[in-house]
């Protein structure tokens, strides 16, 4: 089967659509800009695929009801509401037996729940910082972890809810920040032992035994920019951080930790995992993103690939190769 034989539908959440409905910049932080969709579509066409833009979950429902079909969907739709929001589009596609790129609904739902993800990887022997999950203000008094601690919403991405205040030094700060996060995001708060060491982002491709590391970058905080890879840091990354490609024993161990977590969680096609070292310099799993941002210029995975010699179209080609192999190799 050749690329020109396949019609690829693009499912995505366009940020401008939600801003027009009155949602805020932070609420729509995970959604895509027009140049992201254009970049993916141009790369798919360069690779020989035929494409059709679909849009978000509601647009997909309308298209399916109108009996439109595709050989495969290139899915980057994040969804808007609930911990299972990233699973909505894949679940719809599963219902109509339309294959798609990236992980299935179960994986996407688990990965968005950071505490559940950590429990799974911890039980599999992958190192991760000790943690607690706060469902209500009453849970704060039961936290029994050594300070400093690090707090973030349970099920957000793009650094939402993370700032320099996320690192707390004492019970009073824990109560203040946790109470604010519970009220603001209306979801549980993850509390972890703070990891003070080096921070890495690891790109991954494939699945299971074929999973491999695409590359590793280290996040280096510029003087005065703090030590937290926050929402603000990700927004102004060119001013606040630099990315380097490390090649030492610690970075190689970080890559192995990331690959192990990727395999344990049964992620597919491509994505990335965040790793940070503890006080002893040992890499620990932070979280995995099986539906990583794909802006050709600004998203972490394309940046990581670019710094490791992998062009954007090459990355899209690798994703498609994996998805076609998994779904269409016997058709």
* 45-82 pLDDT tens trace: 999 999 999 999 999 999 999 999 999 999 999 998 88
Work out the pLDDT band at 230, boundaries 50, 70, 90: low
Q: How far apart are the first and last CA of the chain?
A: 8
Distance CA 197, CA 108 (A): 28
Band of the pLDDT at 159, cuts 50, 70, 90?
A: confident
Whether residue 330 is predicted with pLDDT greater than 70 in this model: the reply is no
Q: Which residue has the tokens 């707390």?
A: 168
Give the pLDDT score at 157.
83
Question: Is the CATH number 3.20.20.70 carried by domain 3-103?
Answer: no
Q: Indicate the SS3 state at residue 72.
A: strand
Question: Which of 300, 150, 159, 292 minimizes the C-alpha distance to 229?
Answer: 159
Residue of 298, 167, 166, 301 lying closest to 234 (CA atoms)? 298
Q: What is the pLDDT of residues 256-315, one digit of tens each?
A: 999 999 999 999 999 999 999 999 999 999 999 999 999 999 999 999 999 999 999 999
Helix (H) or strand (E) holding 115: helix 114-123
Checking if the pLDDT of 331 tops 70, the result is no
* pTM, entire model: 0.92
Q: Is the pLDDT of residue 218 over 80?
A: yes
114-123, 218-227, 322-331 — which is least confidently predicted? 218-227
Half-sphere exposure of 203 (CA within 13 A, CB side): 23
Question: How is the chain split into domains, by residue range?
Answer: 3-103, 130-193, 196-325
Q: Which CATH architecture has domain 196-325?
A: 2-Layer Sandwich (3.30)
Higher pLDDT, 322 or 241: 322
pLDDT of 255 > 80? The answer is yes
Q: Which three-class secondary structure state does DSSP give residue 130?
A: coil
| Band of residue 233 on the pLDDT scale cut at 50, 70, 90 | low
- What mean pLDDT is reported for the chain? 94
Comparing CA positions, the residue from 264, 67, 29 lying closest to residue 159 is: 29
Burial 264-301 (b: 16+ CB within 10 A, else e): bbbbbbbbbbbbbbbeeeebbbbbbbbbbbbbbeebbb
Residue 102 main-chain phi, psi, to 5 deg: 70, -170
Q: How confident is the model at residue 1 (pLDDT cuts 50, 70, 90)?
A: confident
Per-residue model confidence (pLDDT) at position 329: 75
The partner residues of 191 in beta bridges, in order of sequence, read: 132, 151
Q: Please report, rounded to a whole number, the percentage of residues in the chain having pLDDT higher than 70.
A: 96
Average pLDDT in the 180-190 region?
95
Which class is 130-193 in CATH?
alpha beta
């Amino acid at each position: 089967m050749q690329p020109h034989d396949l019609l690829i539908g693009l499912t995505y959440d366009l940020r401008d659509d939600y801003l027009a409905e009155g949602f805020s910049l932070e609420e729509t932080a995970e959604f895509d800009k027009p140049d992201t969709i254009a970049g993916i579509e141009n790369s798919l066409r360069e690779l020989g695929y035929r494409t059709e833009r679909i849009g978000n979950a509601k647009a997909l429902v309308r298209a399916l009801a109108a009996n439109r079909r595709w050989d495969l969907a290139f899915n980057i739709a994040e969804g808007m509401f609930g911990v299972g929001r990233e699973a909505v589009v894949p679940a719809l596609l599963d219902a109509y037996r339309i294959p798609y790129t990236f992980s299935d609904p179960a994986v996407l739902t688990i990965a968005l729940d950071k505490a559940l993800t950590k429990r799974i990887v911890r039980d599999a022997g992958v190192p991760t910082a000790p943690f607690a999950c706060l469902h209500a203000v009453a849970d704060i008094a039961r936290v029994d972890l050594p300070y400093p601690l690090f707090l973030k919403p349970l099920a957000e991405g793009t650094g939402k809810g993370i700032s320099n205040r996320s690192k707390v030094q004492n019970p009073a700060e824990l109560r203040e920040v946790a109470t604010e996060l519970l009220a603001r995001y209306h979801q549980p708060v993850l509390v972890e032992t703070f990891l003070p060491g080096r921070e890495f982002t690891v790109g991954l491709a494939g699945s299971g035994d074929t999973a491999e590391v695409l590359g590793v970058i280290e996040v280096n905080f510029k003087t005065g920019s703090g030590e937290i890879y926050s929402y603000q840091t990700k927004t102004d990354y060119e001013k606040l951080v630099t990315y380097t490609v490390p090649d030492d024993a610690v970075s190689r161990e970080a890559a192995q930790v990331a690959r192990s977590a990727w395999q344990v969680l049964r992620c597919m096609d491509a994505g990335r995992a965040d790793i940070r070292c503890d006080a002893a310099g040992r890499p620990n799993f932070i979280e995995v993103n099986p539906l990583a941002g794909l802006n050709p210029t600004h998203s972490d995975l394309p940046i990581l690939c670019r710094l490791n010699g992998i062009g954007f179209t090459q990355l899209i080609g690798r994703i498609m190769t994996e998805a076609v192999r998994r779904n269409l190799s016997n058709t």
